[in-house]
Amino acid sequence: MFILGLESSCDDCSAAVVEETAAGPVLRSLVRESQDTIHGPFGGVVPELAAREHLLQVRAVMAGALAQAGIGLGDLDRIAVTRGPGLVGSLLATFSASKAVAWHQGLPWVGVHHLLGHLNAARFASPNLPFPALVLLVSGGHTHLYLAKDWTSLQLLQKTRDDAAGEAFDKAARMLDLGYPGGPLVDACAQTALRAADPFTPPKFRDGKASWSFSGLKTGVKLRVERNPRLAVAGAADAEVQGLCRSLQEAITTWLLKPLPGWAEETGAQSLVISGGVACNSRLRSEAAVLATRTGLLLAIPEPRLCTDNGAMIAAAGALLSPEADPWSQNADADLKLGA
């Protein structure tokens, strides 16, 4: 079965062709148009600009994915698209395009929850993952831990009380004038550090509820920059900036992974999936491998291009869902809930 997967929930416009086989999904093509140069000057995604750019990109991205896979529209068996959550103007670009193609070609159509997509990105390398699985989804908008009993269900265990982990990376990078998006730049800068700066203090939760908090890191970096204004302009080649990036990255990864062994024991999880843009982080990947060895969890982190938003993960999830009987009455949902 050949599936065309489309994703445009934020600032990446992406299409992929995936062949679903008895052994799992096989990636036949993946095309992604980034909008980093458009949003970079603003230090974050501007929804109206993102929506307009998606409209310009969507046809070429779809055509590119088909050409790269060496197939035509007539060879497709299904089309899958992100239904939500996300920026509604952004979502609508690929959502409408997918319905137009489905109508024109008479193709089965399926709308996919964005987070089910991130989970299914792990299916390419680990199609036989043992369940239940702990699923850590970490991106610019999400820092959520779920329990999955299979590839199509997610039950929330804990989430951030404030900022997402990706936001902490992006905001810190902005204060240090490293560029946008911040995660990969902080990661690269941290890797060049000879030593870490003073560690950040982990947040304390008086109500005892399992959760994370990353907004204190933003304040922490701000205070250090106020004390030492040179940090705001010194750039990635500066040893102090590198040390600060390293301690920031150590704090984020240590805090993210800390609750996982407890949850693994409580839920009887057999495996751990980490996905979303922050799963590209070099330290998170290496620390997760250490944790997996220690706890006996089977670790599945998709290759970096499948961790960030992409059409392939949507196709892989869409392959497992039932197509809609009436695609034409469906709509994108900026606030889509899981299981809806």
308 binds, among ligand KG4, Zn ion, none (CB under 5 to 8 A by kind): ligand KG4
CA distance 317 to 2: 13
Residues in the chain: 340
CA distance 259 to 256: 7
Place of tokens 């992409």: 310
Looking at this protein, which amino acid is placed at residue 255? W
Phi-psi region of 101 (alpha: psi -120 to 50; beta: other; left: phi over 0): alpha
Bridge partners, 144 (sequence order): 137, 159
CA distance 128 to 23: 9
CA distance 10 to 164: 15
- Reduced 3-state DSSP string for 205-218: CCCCCCCECCHHHH
Q: Is 167 in the site for Zn ion (CB under 5 A)?
A: no
Q: Is 309 in the site for Zn ion (CB under 5 A)?
A: yes
Comparison of 220 and 276: residue with beta carbon closer to Zn ion: 276
Q: Is 243 in the site for ligand KG4 (CB under 6 A)?
A: no
Q: Is 163 in the site for ligand KG4 (CB under 6 A)?
A: no
Place of tokens 């043992």: 130
Comparison of 102 and 336: residue with beta carbon closer to ligand KG4: 336
Binding residues for ligand KG4, rule CB under 6 A, total 19
Among 25, 85, 89, 182, binds ligand KG4 (CB under 6 A): 182
280 binds, among Zn ion, ligand KG4, none (CB under 5 to 8 A by kind): ligand KG4
Stretch that binds ligand KG4, among 53-61, 120-128, 138-146, 151-159 (CB under 6 A): 138-146
Task: State the minimum distance, in angstroms, from the CB of residue 228 to ligand KG4.
Answer: 23
Q: Is 90 in the site for Zn ion (CB under 5 A)?
A: no
182 binds, among Zn ion, ligand KG4, none (CB under 5 to 8 A by kind): ligand KG4
Interacting residue ranges for ligand KG4, rule: CB under 6 A: 10, 139-141, 166, 169-170, 181-184, 187, 276-278, 280-281, 308-309
